[in-house]
Structure 1
């Protein structure tokens, strides 16, 4: 589904990503874990076209998308749920969802997809006329995920979906991520909660200071002494 080859990204003189290689196969949940500032968000933003690659290739289903604009990548069914949710606070829940489908013309299908989002997140259906800024943090995260699904992505990029949420809500969000994946959406997940991320990931990569330093199945990495010490509280 997605192949990243020797990806380099610079912020001015800062070399943020260094020869990153990463693969996401169709139907997988792949997670990218690492400390703050390691390059996780930069990786996602470069895949979705918000950051420009200095060199390297981003290949989606055999097509090189490295130089496409962000909206062209959305047309190719790449969708990102940004860190911090970035919902439109003055608009209603329904209007936020409709904006997620702004490139689509199939009005009847859009209606079906809105109903599908309400099935996934029943609370959003109850709050559809409410302004998004008045929702709780967990509800805003659900809305950000629902909005991203409105473009019918083949691959969904999730940036820190559990950030700032109570433990009970974190579990709920991760169950929903598994549910979205089970309906056929491929997922690349960036997450600081390494334990939860590894528990649902088919495969995982560890990034440190812009370089991939480790990869394996979610289970393998969750059992690795190195990962236990660095990210799982040293059990």
Structure 2
């Protein structure tokens, strides 16, 4: 049984059908990449999975339970975390306060402190800046904070939306190293990413979206060498 399973999902914005009956699955321990051009529907899919948008039709199942109509905060409590596009950190709160916001569904104070230390181990820069206002961090540091905040919920799966957007090449490499580290520690990853080459280089499998449809799927290393993918997304 897949950890996350999407079946026949349809989502509309008014008369515009953004997602047109897609189906895909994510198995425990995998890194799955969703790639495609702007407007393909990638972010809409993540928002629908995490309860921020209501589907017109279709189902989202997490650990065998349908969560299509479950409120977003309850989905977090079930073990799903979302790192949104644009980071969305709380600019007027400190780094530490942002991280603690990520654990708001948890009641196990001792375990929360252990998770915080784990996050600080993975992101030493956040520990150095724990009392700094999040809005004063660089873009790369804010991305680390958004990822650390998501990990504070102790998720089984983490959904990441464009984690490399607007970052310098050095920070991009660092962020992708961290994603691999998160995966290696046992957390499943569903990754939406414009940088198709980087996404495919760390993913196990990938789905290619065009205007709300899945047009191609397969093992990431095979898609990385697919001529159509190279031409459309890798600039070759």
TM-score calculated relative to the size of structure 2: 0.99
User: SS at the partner of 2:7?
Assistant: strand
Instruction: Report Cα offsets for 1:156-179 as digits up to 9, x if no partner.
Output: 000000000001110110000000
User: SS at the partner of 1:19?
Assistant: strand
Matches of 1:197 and 1:5 in 2, distance apart? 23
Between Structure 1 and Structure 2, how many residues are aligned?
Answer: 234
Could you tell me which residue of structure 1 aligns to residue 30 of structure 2? 28
Unaligned runs of 5+ in 2: none
Deviation at 1:76, TM superposition (A): 0.8
Unaligned runs of 5+ in 1: none
User: SS at the partner of 2:69?
Assistant: coil
Could you tell me which residue of structure 2 aligns to residue 46 of structure 1? 48
User: SS at the partner of 2:33?
Assistant: strand
Instruction: Report Cα offsets for 1:196-221 as digits up to 9, x if no partner.
Output: 00000000000000000000011010
Could you tell me which residue of structure 2 aligns to residue 124 of structure 1? 126
Could you tell me which residue of structure 2 aligns to residue 155 of structure 1? 157
Matches of 1:34 and 1:166 in 2, distance apart? 21
Deviation at 1:228, TM superposition (A): 0.2
Instruction: Report Cα offsets for 1:58-112 as digits up to 9, x if no partner.
Output: 0101101011010111111111000000000000000000000001111111111
Matches of 1:164 and 1:116 in 2, distance apart? 26
- From 172, 175, 184, give the equivalent of 2:186: 184
Matches within 5 A, 1:129-208: 129-208=131-210
Matches of 2:193 and 2:79 in 1, distance apart? 22
User: SS at the partner of 2:218?
Assistant: strand
User: SS at the partner of 1:162?
Assistant: coil
Matches of 1:231 and 1:47 in 2, distance apart? 25
Matches of 2:37 and 2:182 in 1, distance apart? 26
Deviation at 1:222, TM superposition (A): 0.4
